[in-house]
Amino acid sequence: MKLLEYEAKRVFAEYGIPVPKGVVIRAPEEVAAHLPDLGDGVVLKAQVDVGGRGKAGGVLFADAKTAVETARELFSREIKGVPVGEILVEERLPIEHEYYVSIAVDRSSRQPVVLFADAGGVEIEKMAEEDESAVRRVIVSPLLSDIPPFLMRELLGGAPKELAPVINSLYHVFQGKDAMLAEINPLVTTARGVYAADAKLIVDDNALARQGITVNRDLSEREREAEKHGFSYVELDGSIGVIGNGAGLTMSTLDLIEFYNGRAANFLDVGGGADQERVMHAVKLVASMPGVNVIVVNLLGGITRCDEVAKGIIAAGVAPTVIVRMAGTNEEEGRRLLAECGYRMLDSMDTAVKAAMEVSP
Amino acid sequence: MIYGDKNLGVIVQNITGRQGTFHTELMNAYAREVGGRGVVAGVAPGKAGREVHGVPVYNTVREALAEHEATASVVFVPAGAAGDAVMEAAHAGIELAVVITEHIPVHDAMSAIAYAKLHDCTVIGPNCPGLLSPGECKLGIMPAHLARRGNVGVVSRSGTLTYEVVDELTRAGIGQSTVVGIGGDPVIGQTFVDVLARFEEDPHTKAVVVIGEVGGNLEEEGVRSTDLPVVTYIAGVSAPPEKRMGHAGAIIEGGEGDARSKVSRLRALEIPVASRPSEIPKLIREVL
């Protein structure tokens, strides 16, 4: 789950990373009371979860006289279609130089990777594309609690040594907060010291509970409802509902519908070890979306038992036609139960998808 | 076959859990069928002295290994404790840990895999179905009846999609040497590169099916690393961008991780890419 900038900055501050003085406001007038504290020049930053916020008009500069009016203007905007509910108002830093630093999970080495660039405030992907040497990277063993000095020297190159403790603190954030990504762009030097001018923090969805986060904001309400049952659920715009077990098989079923020029309405991954009750909820949820007139259930048993699945489908008893393709653990029993209740059970994914297309071309 | 044969001794961690119990029985049914050793002991802290389908239970991996000869462990420990379980296994001398558990925090996976490496323990998974060498051994939860012994290796990030492909191959009369599910998480122990290197050393494997998904670029890395004939299939070409597609690994990360650009990069390397699973047997015949 992605944290908003001000939430990430609060975390950074807890870990000793200097951040600009700032306040979060929810109405334009609120800014006035904080101006004496923030100084004459301020930056107003829309707290919306969109990429390229600055270019999209989500960051405005103001002084004491124009701050309220500027805040009003920013609250009235939509940033890439997202309304502005909160604004972070910060002191304007006397920036000398901007750097880039981030820590992420490197899939290839299975370890944290730290990226650093001597130029910040720009899109790092573009910078790396134009000049690969512009972005330095070091891999840090996850068994270490600090970035070793020799790796820090390699990372910084000629950049000021004052950045090192901040980058090491960012590594502590990365480890302590179960981060998938911790980024400061730009990391700035000023006459008063080093600051994180911006902050990005994405927390591992599998670690939200131990991080004390109870609601995953990245999910829509319906997806959240699905998540309560342990499903992944996504809505599209066709007429065929798709239920699978496992992300790969579910995606593959979706791909096959597209291959045969059909359109999926939605898809739901029941996950591993789906029991009768969860399958029933899954079928009901997929069927409840308006416009779904046929559902393809494509399940291969491993950790999932086919007899449980069959009972769940029968218990759901939904209006749209349900076409079933199952194979795996306790398959024969599942097949028998479905046949008894008049459900079509097909032998392959291709035939099941084709059968669904006949119902809903 | 790779990673082990019928002489492989196996323990199950969290053998007393629902899935651990259920799949211990299936693994041992398979071992009996092929004349293998199968699961010789189980571990569940605080439950020493019990038996699960005739398999003795111990409190720790160390205690289990003191009484039984085993080099592999299948881990069914719940997400919050699974990283610790892998480290325990590695520390006690287990050489191969197959981690079935899903939803393990990625930082736990990174630490456990790094720690296991220090102890020369190979980790497959997490969030994987394990491996199956038809006629030899089964570690994990793959439905064994779909597979048939042969000379095609299968390596996949997916679980159920792997069964689909194995089913297609078997129906087409193409047997498998070993089927390995490496797991769908962003951080996994054995990647395509590692498994393909093992297949390359295996005299029984003549070609490999690589099954990938949206997210990352490990498929390409693997395919580039091997001289074996390879056929690929990538799930998720119709996946809408910026959507979570089921498990943590299957998040489209804009650009390199999306399925369409993966497919075109593989085709650029002149690697056959199946447009649907049922096309795989035909493509395999062409490269064999």
ipTM of the complex model: 0.90
pLDDT score for B248: 42
C-alpha distances in Å from residue A314, one per residue of A299, A326, B1: 15, 14, 41
The answer to the question of whether B191 is labelled as a binding residue is: no
* In chain B, where the domains are located: 9-124, 142-287
- pLDDT tens readout for residues B212-252: 988 778 899 999 999 999 999 999 888 776 555 444 444 44
Higher-pLDDT residue of A129, B190: B190
Q: How many CA atoms lie within 13 A of B235 on its CB side?
A: 31
- pLDDT tens readout for residues B4-25: 999 999 999 999 999 999 999 9
Structure tokens at B214: 């949206």
Structure tokens at B184: 């769908």
Confidence of residue B95 (pLDDT cuts 50, 70, 90): very high
pLDDT score for A132: 76
The shortest CB-CB distance from A350 to any of B107, B113, B278 is to B278
pLDDT score for B256: 56
* B278/A349 touch (CB, cutoff 8 Å), yes or no: yes
- pLDDT tens readout for residues B158-176: 888 999 999 999 999 999 9
Pair B24, B15: CB distance under 8 Å: yes
Structure tokens at A298: 């494509």
- Burial track A297-335 (b if 16+ CB lie within 10 A, e otherwise): bbbbbbbbbbbbbbbbbbebebebbbbbbbbbbbbeebb
Could you read off the pLDDT tens digit of each residue along chain A, which spans 361 residues? Answer: 899 999 999 999 999 999 999 999 999 999 999 999 998 899 999 999 887 888 899 999 999 999 999 999 999 999 999 999 999 999 999 999 999 999 999 988 999 999 999 988 777 777 777 777 889 999 999 999 999 999 999 999 999 999 999 999 999 999 999 999 999 999 999 999 999 999 999 999 899 999 999 888 877 677 777 878 878 888 888 899 999 988 889 999 999 999 999 999 998 998 776 788 989 999 999 998 888 999 999 988 666 788 888 999 999 998 899 999 987 778 888 889 999 998 988 888 999 999 999 987 7
| A274 inside 8 A of chain B by CB | no
Residue with tokens 């203007």: A73
Per DSSP, the three-state class of A75 is: helix
pLDDT score for A350: 92
pLDDT of B50 higher than 70: yes
Structure tokens at A154: 């390699």
Pair A75, A94: CB distance under 8 Å: no
Per DSSP, the three-state class of A54 is: coil
pLDDT score for A137: 93
CATH number of B9-124: 3.40.50.720
Pair B271, B277: CB distance under 8 Å: no
- In 3D, which of B221, B229, B228, B231 has the Cα closest to residue B273? B231
The answer to the question of whether B18 is labelled as a binding residue is: yes
pLDDT above 70 coverage of chain B, percent: 94
pLDDT score for A157: 95
Per DSSP, the three-state class of B194 is: helix
Per DSSP, the three-state class of B273 is: strand
pLDDT score for B250: 45
Pair B113, B123: CB distance under 8 Å: yes
In angstroms, what separates the C-alpha of A177 from chain B's closest C-alpha? 10
In DSSP terms, B131 is beta-bridged to B139, B180
Contact list in A for residue B113 (CB cut-off 8 A) is 110
pLDDT score for A167: 98
d(CA A223, CA A215): 12
Our CA angle for A178, B93, B39, nearest 5°, is 95
Pair B219, B195: CB distance under 8 Å: no
Q: How far is CA A178 from the centre of its chain?
A: 14
| A264 inside 8 A of chain B by CB | yes
On whether the B142-287 domain is CATH 3.30.930.10, my answer is no
d(CA A298, CA A295): 10
Confidence of residue B260 (pLDDT cuts 50, 70, 90): confident
pLDDT score for B257: 67
C-alpha distances in Å from residue A71, one per residue of A26, A28, A62, A191: 10, 5, 9, 28
Mean pLDDT (chain B, rounded): 92
The answer to the question of whether B176 is labelled as a binding residue is: no
pLDDT score for A303: 61
Neighbours of B46 (CB within 10 A): 7
pLDDT score for B177: 98
pLDDT score for B242: 54
The set of catalytic residues of B is 247
The answer to the question of whether B206 is labelled as a binding residue is: no
d(CA B48, CA B198): 36
Pair A300, B141: CB distance under 8 Å: no
Contact list in B for residue A254 (CB cut-off 8 A) is 236, 238-239
Q: List domains and CATH numbers for chain A.
A: 21-91 (3.30.1490.20), 95-211 (3.30.470.20), 221-359 (3.40.50.261)
Amino acid symbol at A14: E
Are B9-124 and B142-287 equal in CATH topology? yes
Amino acid symbol at B160: T
pLDDT above 90 coverage of chain B, percent: 84
In angstroms, what separates the C-alpha of B47 from chain A's closest C-alpha? 24
First to last CA, chain A: 37
Q: How many beta-carbon pairs below 8 A join chains A and B?
A: 183
